Structure 1
Amino acid sequence: MNSNHVVFVYGTLRKGQSNRRVMKPHLVRELGEGVIQGEMYDLGAYPAVSLDGDGVVVGEWVEVTDDGLAALDGLEGYPRFYDRTVVRDLHGAVEGWVYHMTGRIPAGAPRIESGDWVAWLRARKEVRV
């Protein structure tokens, strides 16, 4: 029996970002923007999130098929690279999976204070121009 899975995406899987195409064929529906507790770090081409700390992570809630969750597991290197844990939106309306790192954020990775990857990318582009 097939089932669907709710997932919080915060980086390259968000709308308009490079890896959205991986999820798109398996996307059942978009559930809206959200915020979870955690800390976001810039690893260069993508962000990493730690669920430790009292910061926030901005993203989107989506619902994907079983094949979609398997595709995301492959993209995120679960369970070798990223872990996957159920979290709840800070506004309490939604809960689902999020991919995160546990105690493995590379030393020297800049923390993204806003917790918003898309805003961080815009700011980086403005600085480079």
Structure 2
Amino acid sequence: MPEAPERHVFVYGTLRRGGRNDINRLSPAPDYVGMGEVRGVLYHLDWYPGLALGGEEAVTVVGEVYRISAELEAILDGIEQIVPGADSEYFKREVEIAVQGRPVTCLLYEINPVHVRERRPMGHGDWIVFHHG
């Protein structure tokens, strides 16, 4: 059996270390790779944020990059309530994230634009600082 390709995930909200859904408390545990950043817009939805990639108001959004297993990816999909079709609150994307200056292809859960149409951007890209500040 060939080994499954290595997967990485970029987490920017409640899945970050110390967050409500801290990925480090999940099983099977992920491997921390490093801090990463991507250009986008963070929105405050309730007790969690949503990230829209790119855009005119884009800022540098910071998060953590982890190496994950297929089992953990399925658990994350459940937390983010990924469902097929256009109604999902989040969409899974594969994006290049800069991790200490080198690109790493990561899964990222991007907010469905429909859910942030009436929302104002947070104006900066660090959910943990915003939420605990």
TM-score per shorter chain, which class? 0.7 to 0.9
Q: 1:16 to 1:22 in 2, by over 3 A?
A: closer
- Structure 1 residue 24 displacement after superposition: 2.4
Q: Aligned with 2:16: secondary structure?
A: coil
- Structure 1 residue 27 displacement after superposition: 2.5
TM-score normalised over the length of structure 2: 0.81
The number of residue pairs the alignment matches comes to: 123
Show the counterpart of 2:17. Answer: 15
Runs of 4+ in 1 over 2 A off after TM superposition: 1-4, 21-24, 90-93, 105-110
- Structure 1 residue 45 displacement after superposition: 0.6
Find the aligned partners of 1:49 and 1:93 in 2 and give their Cα distance. Answer: 19
Q: Which protein has the bigger helix share?
A: 1
Extract unaligned runs of 5+ from structure 2: none
* Identity across matched positions, percent: 29
Q: What's the RMSD between the two structures over aligned residues?
A: 2.0
Amino acid at match of 2:97: D
Q: 1:69 to 1:118 in 2, by over 3 A?
A: same
| Equivalent residues of 1:11, 1:17 under 8 A apart | yes
| Equivalent residues of 2:14, 2:48 under 8 A apart | yes
Extract unaligned runs of 5+ from structure 1: 124-129
Amino acid at match of 2:15: L
Task: Give 1:86-97 correspondences, 5 Å limit.
Answer: 86-90=94-98, 91-97=101-107
Find the aligned partners of 1:33 and 1:21 in 2 and give their Cα distance. Answer: 14
